[in-house]
Amino acid sequence: MAIRNIVTSEDPILSKPCRTVEEFDDKLGQLIDDMFETLEKAKGLGLAAPQVGILKRVFVMDVGDGRVEAVNPVILKESGKQRDVEGCLSCPNQWGYVTRPNKCRLRAYDRHGKEFTMDLKELGCRCACHETDHLDGLLFTRLVDEFVQMEDA
């Protein structure tokens, strides 16, 4: 495993849509392992492949109830609303209020190509939506309705 560099918001790769993963191979598994290691070192909740310079539809997250690896993720349905402060490893020192669904159903594949669905709520839903946005080239800063200083958050 290796810790990868996290690209910042100035990098144009973060505004590009990612390609669908078609090969579920050792290279994909290595990317996912590296992303988890990078996420852990950065003390983040989620990390999308474009944040480490790879335009593939992959994200990893761990919001405290276990690791999730999502390849070719799709948010199938959403319900409710929540408004809370978000940050991003690619946008250091930027924080702001974003409204997201309170619950969602995620469909994705694991590193071996096995399809799964999971129902997420609150922080898990927020994180999955944030990371899925990255895969579509959308930074959270475009969704912020009020920027805040971290000590205000």
Render pLDDT for 43-97 as a digit per residue (tens, 0 to 9).
999 999 999 999 999 999 999 999 999 999 999 999 999 999 999 999 999 999 9
Render pLDDT for 129-145 as a digit per residue (tens, 0 to 9).
999 999 999 999 999 99
Residue 4 included in any domain? no
In this predicted structure, the answer to whether residue 99 has a pLDDT above a threshold of 90 is: yes
How much is the pLDDT for 150? 77
Residue 53 included in any domain? yes
How much is the pLDDT for 96? 98
CB 110 within 8 A of CB 101: no
In this predicted structure, the answer to whether residue 147 has a pLDDT above a threshold of 80 is: yes
How much is the pLDDT for 76? 98
Binding-site annotation, residues for Fe cation: 88, 130, 134
- Domain around 43: 12-152
Domain count, the chain: 1
- pLDDT tier for residue 5 given thresholds of 50, 70 and 90: very high
How much is the pLDDT for 153? 53
The reply to whether the predicted model has a pTM over 0.85 is yes
State phi, psi for 48 to the nearest 5 degrees: -105, 150
How much is the pLDDT for 152? 54
Q: State the DSSP string of 27-76.
A: HHHHHHHHHHHHHHHHT-SEEEGGGGT--BSEEEE-SSS--EEEEEEEEE
Q: What percent of the chain has pLDDT over 70?
A: 98
Residues forming a β-bridge with 97: 85, 146
From the CB of residue 47, how many other CB atoms can be counted at a distance below 10 Å? 29
Residue 6 included in any domain? no
Residue 83 included in any domain? yes
**What would the two tokens of residue 150 be?**
């971290």
| 131 noted as active-site residue | yes
CATH number at residue 132: 3.90.45.10
Residue 70 included in any domain? yes
Q: Mean pLDDT in the chain?
A: 97
Distances from the Cα of 52 to the Cαs of 18, 37, 85, 149, 152, in angstroms? 12, 12, 23, 26, 29
How much is the pLDDT for 1? 75
In this predicted structure, the answer to whether residue 37 has a pLDDT above a threshold of 60 is: yes
In the set 22, 40, 115, 131, the catalytic residue is: 131
